[in-house]
Structure 1
Amino acid sequence: MSRPKVVVARNLGPDVMPLFNRSDLDVVAWHSETEACGRKWLLENIVGASGVLVMLADKVAGPKLRIVSTMSVGYEHVDLQQLTDRGVRLGYTPDVLTDAVADLSIMLALMAGRNSRETMSVWPSYPWSPFAFCGPQLSANWLHPTRTAGFIGFGRIAQATLARLVPFGFTHCLYTGNPASAPTPERDATLARTLGVESVRRVALAELARESDVVFVLAPGAPSLRHVVDAAFLRGMKKTAVLVNTARGTLVDSDALALALREGWLWGAGIDVVEGEPHVGADHPLVKEPRCVVLPHIGSATTETRLGMATMAAKNLISGVLGDTMPAELSITR
């Protein structure tokens, strides 16, 4: 029998590519790590392939495809209905990036609160004054002895972010959940005891906006959640509060956030994702807003995390094509 053909749409580096040096696979791999393969190359080489490993920006189809492996935890770029209809299995890379994204979420909260974007352009001189460039302190302090974190979405990354906030003196956690899911008061109470905070509570969006000192957007990018952070939500936030989005750009209305920052509905924002990325230029309303720290979707960009993601994506592809259990396969309801 001929060896199954697999296509790898990006060079995954010297630590991962040797995994494909196998006698039981016919591997076609793009040569560059930094340059995308291009749609023409991908479509030409996907012909006859049983499996493909793709990045977030790649969209593919092939009549013989049985396995799609994506080097991402998100799968919005994948047509799940097509996969379901054709019985194609999907591998992805959850959990590996939890710590990296939680770390970045804290970093953005600190940067947004302390006006880092505004202050980076003041040298070589500016008139010092006692309260110049002051912003709200993330940690509990004599003026604000209790701190409340709000989470839109409360999965692994959100809970890891909450754990990182405890040493800053955060004592309360509010979160929103999928309306279709049942409340979990016992789990919340257990988590509160484990982390040493006074309360973990599921609440409505309006209460979360009103009571939170920092709001972290960490929900999946489902169509039903598009612009869940809209003008109404932003108007309800504390004027000293900070918004952090390290999930998906579609969850936040960019125009509403830019207006909110200009008019002082909240203090600042730190975002790692922007609606419409990567087509985000200097004229984007949030890029122009000095109270908004904008990063180019680098939440998982640590060496350790990307190596783990690449390794898992490669093993998902190999295992899936050879009929074995994938390390991480998305369960698609047929």
Structure 2
Amino acid sequence: MKIVMIEPINISMMKIEEYRQRFEAEGHQLTAYSNRAKDEAEMIKRAEAADIIIIANQPLSAEVINACPNLKMISVAFTGFDHLAMEACRENDILVANASGYANQAVAELVFGLTIDLMRKIKDSDQAVRAGETRAGLIGNELAGKNFGIVGFGSIGQKTARIADAFGCNILVDNHKKHQSGEELEVEYLELDELMQKSDIVSLHVPLKEATENLIDAEKIALMKKSAILINTARGPVVDSQALAEALNKEEIAGAGIDVFEMEPPIPGDHPLLNAQNTILTPHTAFATEEAFLKRAEIVFTNIETWLAGKPQNVVS
């Protein structure tokens, strides 16, 4: 089988060589590119002879998929797969497997990095010290005892809940799907509107699909406490950015920590959140730790090995 990694997945060439030798020992060929293709024509050139391709979060269109007649399997080095033309994969009988779970810890940790930064005014405190100022106006709030609302209670949502529990928070979860960990943590299940009303922190962990696009719109934001903050490490389009920016600038909510946008960074200079008050923005880094990248690579290549062995795992529909 010809396996092509059509964009880098943030592991060293030494590690790639280990995987190459692993596959060559089984009679397969691994080609790995160290940069992204500049356009679809270049993507097709890289992938057209492949039986299996590995891709991270570069969009993969139907045009590219249809130009690869030998393609049988795609191993996605990401949890989300909304950047793939899934209908074209189904039409061409191409199996897609993702790297589910690789960044659970990394994403959950950034949730609390953003939360604590906002609640304890860390960014502003740093600027105050550098400007020779005091702590005046920088008195923050503790996490303990706060209502921590989690929208989306999958693996990352559950990991986030466990950390919130360790901080002494009361955990509220949108009433969508119950899990054993919810019983262990004694979470309170609520409808989304009530969760938005009662939470001091709202953290989003839902996938992007038709039902979740603009899930957090002006109406939902208006339900939040004036003292509440919103954290989004899920998908950018889950939140109406314009509505959020307006609420922040009118001080209708206290702050927001945003790692994801409607597009991959760099984001355009006229994006509404760039000029919003009390906002911390990060360039889609929640998943990006060295530990997570190593876990991701192992899942990506193991997905291929299990598929070759007739026992596919992490298959997405």
In the alignment, the residues of structure 2 paired with residue 176 and residue 251 of structure 1 have an alpha-carbon distance, to the nearest angstrom, of 17
Equivalent residue for 1:55?
56
In the alignment, the residues of structure 2 paired with residue 268 and residue 286 of structure 1 have an alpha-carbon distance, to the nearest angstrom, of 11
The reply to whether residue 328 of structure 1 matches residue 317 of structure 2 is no
Aligned-pair CA distance for 1:101? 0.9
In the alignment, the residues of structure 2 paired with residue 161 and residue 219 of structure 1 have an alpha-carbon distance, to the nearest angstrom, of 13
In the alignment, the residues of structure 2 paired with residue 250 and residue 57 of structure 1 have an alpha-carbon distance, to the nearest angstrom, of 17
TM-score (norm 2): 0.88
Equivalent position to 1:27, from 4, 26, 30: 30
Aligned-pair CA distance for 1:282? 4.2
In the alignment, the residues of structure 1 paired with residue 7 and residue 206 of structure 2 have an alpha-carbon distance, to the nearest angstrom, of 28
Partners of 2:152 and 2:173 within 8 A in 1: no
Give SS of 1:287's match.
Answer: helix
In the alignment, the residues of structure 2 paired with residue 17 and residue 139 of structure 1 have an alpha-carbon distance, to the nearest angstrom, of 47
Equivalent position to 1:316, from 294, 303, 308: 303
Partners of 1:174 and 1:212 within 8 A in 2: no
Partners of 1:154 and 1:176 within 8 A in 2: no
TM-score (norm 1): 0.84
Equivalent residues in 2 for 1:1-334 (5 A)? 4-11=1-8, 12-13=11-12, 14-21=14-21, 22-23=24-25, 24-30=27-33, 32=34, 35-39=35-39, 40-59=41-60, 60-61=64-65, 62-125=68-131, 127-128=133-134, 130=136, 132-140=137-145, 147-177=146-176, 184=178, 187=179, 191-192=181-182, 194-195=184-185, 197=186, 200-320=187-307, 322-330=308-316, 332=317
Give SS of 1:166's match.
Answer: helix
Partners of 2:6 and 2:47 within 8 A in 1: no
Deviations 1:275-334 (A, max 9, x none): 2222414442212224111111111111111111012112323443x353234222x2xx
Aligned-pair CA distance for 1:127? 4.9
In the alignment, the residues of structure 2 paired with residue 274 and residue 118 of structure 1 have an alpha-carbon distance, to the nearest angstrom, of 23
Compare 119-128 and 5-14 and name the one that shifted more: 119-128
Runs (5+) with no aligned partner, structure 2: none
In the alignment, the residues of structure 2 paired with residue 116 and residue 287 of structure 1 have an alpha-carbon distance, to the nearest angstrom, of 19
Aligned-pair CA distance for 1:123? 4.5
Flag the 1:5–1:170 CA change in 2: closer, same or farther, 3 A.
same
In the alignment, the residues of structure 2 paired with residue 316 and residue 191 of structure 1 have an alpha-carbon distance, to the nearest angstrom, of 27
Partners of 1:153 and 1:175 within 8 A in 2: yes
Supply the RMSD in Å over aligned alpha carbons: 2.1
**Identity %, equivalent residues:** 26
Aligned-pair CA distance for 1:119? 4.1
In the alignment, the residues of structure 2 paired with residue 87 and residue 323 of structure 1 have an alpha-carbon distance, to the nearest angstrom, of 18
Aligned-pair CA distance for 1:111? 1.3
Deviations 1:39-92 (A, max 9, x none): 343211222211111110141411221001110000001122111122110111
Aligned-pair CA distance for 1:231? 0.8
Give SS of 1:102's match.
Answer: helix
Flag the 1:256–1:25 CA change in 2: closer, same or farther, 3 A.
same
Which amino acid is 2:139 matched to? C
Aligned-pair CA distance for 1:172? 3.8
Partners of 1:218 and 1:246 within 8 A in 2: yes
Partners of 2:52 and 2:74 within 8 A in 1: yes
Runs (5+) with no aligned partner, structure 1: 141-146, 178-182
Partners of 2:258 and 2:279 within 8 A in 1: yes
- Superposition misfits of 4+ residues, deviation over 6 angstroms: none
* Relative contact order higher in (CA < 8 Å, ≥ 6 apart): 1
Aligned residues between the structures:
305
Aligned-pair CA distance for 1:29? 2.0
